[in-house]
A and B are shown apart, each in its own frame.
Chain A
Amino acid sequence: MSRNVQSILTGILTGHYPCSLSTREWRDLILVARANSLLPRVAAFILNDVKCNLQVPTNVNAHLIASIRHETLFHNQVKDEVNFVNAKISRALNRNLIVLKGAGYVVASSSAAKGRIFSDIDLLVLKEDVSKVERALHLFGFVSDTDSEYDQKYYREWAHEIPPLRHLQRGTVLDVHHNIVPLVSGRAPDIEIFLKSTVKTEYGVEVLRPAAMFLHSAIHLFFSEEFTNGYRDLSDLSLLLDEIIDDDDEISYLFFLAENTGFENEIFLALRYLDRIFGRTIPQDITKNFKQVPPSKIRLVVMDFIFGKVLAANHRLVDVKFRGLAQWLAFVRGHLLKMPFNILVKHTASKLWRGIVKSVTGDVENRHHVQRKDIKD
């Protein structure tokens, strides 16, 4: 009798370990975890949690150990890079540098850092500091990845960040933000309130305080149009929830922040799918904080259809009916949230054209064979 691989995976990621796994279940667990960028996290739970009594077969252990080695090196590199960048730009800043998302989890030593691999280091600076920061980073070897005029215009006018900067030698990618959602969405909050919701780390940089970290992660997820790593992001939220769930101050701050920035709905969605997909029962004490009117029945049905599917682990072994349709709806929804319709049409046309060109010509350049990619998302 074979169990559902996603339920095994979710169990492990929430500390509910099965008593044992068959060879085939181990194999499928590794495949699904790897495909969802979660193998290092699964490995960290299984190998480092004293509560886990699973007997790990040697051939499985090889993959777990390997991914932990990868994670350890990667996190060391991230800390180094954050130190390097901060040392180079701190004098150009009118306020301490804030590190967001994955790199933020790592320098904050948050539970969500556990086994977290990501591709970019996300930074938040004051809007007035952006051009100084950009010049300073240019000076120290970070250059813009894109020279497409459309991309430059898109970022400069509509986005909440400047085009990604890649280090010439190390290949590290920095995303410099001045807000947390695109300006063109009309939902960008007064960033001041987030700037006041930070804590200092041992690296001299700041990160969002746990409640703000949870909120930002929820906003980021439910503003996405693309959910390849949706299940992983939900796992982040589950770990970020652990950081605040027993702390009344953080919980009330979470709702204070959400209400004042207009993101209560994102919290609602995050808690709803943590419950439905990750089996995290959310206590009444928390849900009673909602001030917004709950979404209508019909709205909920649509949301559940979309997010119930796109936030499931992404792998052929996890059978989700109509996943493609849900992905498409999520894609449209994400874009509509991010930009007004007229701009969306232009944006889509531009992306579509490039997509067509690529699918016709195929990409034969840049062949990589025996090369390890350190940083993967």
Chain B
Amino acid sequence: MSELSNAQYQSAVKKSELNIEFGLISVNVNSSFSQVTKTISELYRDYNVTLSSDWFDFNVSVEKPSNFRRFFRSQAVFKLDGHIPFKPLPSAHAYPLFEWGMNWCVANFYHRYLIFHAAVLEKNGKAVIFPAPPGSGKSTLCAYLALSGWRLLSDEMAVLDIETGNVLPFVRPICLKNNSIRLVEDWFPEAFISDVATDTQKGDVAHVRPPTDSVRRCGEGAKLFAIVFPQFKAGSTTEIFSMTQMNTLKMLVENAFNFDLFGHEGFEFISRKLPDLLLLEATYSNVDDLRTVLESEVQD
């Protein structure tokens, strides 16, 4: 993307000719909000893009709605192939809407792979999945690790190929909420963080540009090594417990996007896989403590 001049970029977006290549999928993007096109060019700086290619998996856009709300308290709508799958948001939330809409496309349609709601990071060729409900500190942890030398595979979705058993990257900007925006800014002043969208339904939201190396390696799967359920608890000391396979399965299913669609295949894949994996639950307040523990686990 960074090789395109601004004029080339703007014209390609305007003509719906710009595809972002994620490795997993290819997405054609467009927006009538300059805020959105500007943020895309910043956050996706290191991605491969193709111009007017014959293929994309999804064509998405964030646009102004065609009703009266164009004129007062303006709104933004997400479109997939010209179709509006969910209700508009205030126009100030146009960029998060773009990111969330793209997540929705994959979670809703891309059932080639088993997908869980989880962050995925890798070190020494060992991938760790962090499934967690909102509020568990998953994204903060994800940003911390990704900016401390771990390879980011995904902030939102663990994409599992049940044929090879590998986890596939779906590298995207990391979505930070509320206080964690400030924390990440303080920890990593050199990291690029988008403008903050305030008062969304998830609170204040900003996105972190994924590390260049993670983006470059977005076609490279990783071997599954561990499943860790993080739980941020203010004031706590770092504690690690091992999880039973039963509990892990239960919590994975709770965080699944399409486990039901895989029927027996999915269940058998997970059951076969769990005995080989390190299964942990981690309570922490100091994210660097947790990093140290995790790094000792993934040491060669």
Which positions in A face B, CB cutoff 8 Å?
22-24, 26-27, 31, 34-35, 59, 61-63, 65-67, 69-70, 72-73, 316, 359-360, 362-373
A369 touches B104 (CB 8 A): yes
Q: In whole angstroms, what is the CA distance A26 to B100 when docked? A: 26
- Type the 1/0 row for B139-177, where 1 means its CB is closer than 8 Å to any CB of A: 000000000000000001000000000000000000000
Q: What is the distance, in angstroms, from B222's C-beta to the closest C-beta of chain A?
A: 20
Q: Which residues of A contact B111 (CB under 8 A)?
A: 65-67, 69-70
Interface residue ranges of B186-216 to A (CB < 8 Å): 201
Q: Besides A66-B111, A360-B67, A362-B75, 14 other CB < 8 A contacts? A: A27-B55, A59-B57, A62-B112, A63-B109, A63-B112, A66-B109, A73-B263, A316-B82, A360-B68, A362-B69, A363-B88, A364-B88, A364-B90, A369-B100
Contact, CB under 8 Å: A34 / B81? yes
Chain B: residues with Cβ within 8 Å of the partner, total of 38
Question: Which positions 44-58 of chain B face chain A at CB distance < 8 Å?
Answer: 54-57
The answer, yes or no, to whether B262 is at the interface (CB within 8 Å) is yes
Contact of B263 with A364 in the complex, beta carbons under 8 Å: no
Tell me the smallest distance from the CB of A270 to a CB of chain B, in Å.
28
Contact assessment for B81 and A31 in the assembled complex, using a CB-CB cutoff below 8 Å:
yes
Q: Report yes or no: A370 in contact with B104, Cβ–Cβ below 8 A.
A: yes
Min CB distance A159 to B, Å, is 28
Q: A59-B57, A73-B261 are in contact. Are A370 and B103 (CB under 8 A)?
A: yes
Question: How far is the CB of A37 from the nearest CB of chain B, in Å?
Answer: 11
Contact yes or no, A24 B117, CB < 8 A:
no
Q: Is the beta-carbon distance between B108 and A372 smaller than 8 angstroms?
A: yes
B contacts, CB < 8 Å to A: 26, 54-57, 59, 65, 67-69, 75, 81-83, 86-90, 100-101, 103-104, 107-112, 117, 156, 201, 257-258, 260-263
Q: Are B87 and A70 in contact (CB under 8 A)?
A: no
A35, A316, A366, A372 interface centre (most CB from chain B within 10 Å) = A372
Given the complex, which residues of B lie within 8 Å of A72, measured CB to CB?
261, 263
Query: Is B257 within 8 A of A22, CB to CB?
Result: no
One of A24, A34, A70, A368 near B261 (C-beta < 8 A) = A70
A339 CA / B89 CA spacing, docked (Å): 38
Q: How far is the CA of A72 from the CA of B261 in the complex (A)?
A: 8
Contact A359 B68 (CB under 8 A): yes
Q: Which residues of A contact B100 (CB under 8 A)?
A: 369-370
How many whole Å from A357's CB to the nearest CB in chain B? 11
A27 & B81 in contact (Cβ 8 Å cutoff): no
Q: Which residues of A contact B82 (CB under 8 A)?
A: 316
Chain A proximity of B151: nearest CB distance (Å): 24
Taking a contact as CB atoms under 8 Å apart, the answer to whether B112 and A66 are in contact is: yes
Give the residue name and chain of the A residue nearest to B75 (CB). Answer: A362
Flag if A369 contacts B262 (CB, 8 Å). no
CB distance from B243 to the nearest CB of A (A): 24
CB-defined A-B contacts under 8 Å, sample of 27: A23-B55, A24-B55, A31-B59, A34-B81, A35-B83, A59-B57, A61-B112, A62-B112, A63-B57, A63-B109, A65-B112, A66-B110, A66-B111, A67-B109, A67-B111, A70-B261, A73-B260, A360-B67, A360-B68, A362-B67, A364-B90, A368-B86, A369-B100, A369-B101, A370-B257, A371-B108, A372-B108
The answer to whether B56 and A367 touch across the interface, beta carbons within 8 angstroms, is no
Measured between alpha carbons, how far is A362 from B112 in the docked complex, in Å? 35
| Interface-central residue, B65, B104, B107, B261, by most chain A CB under 10 Å | B261
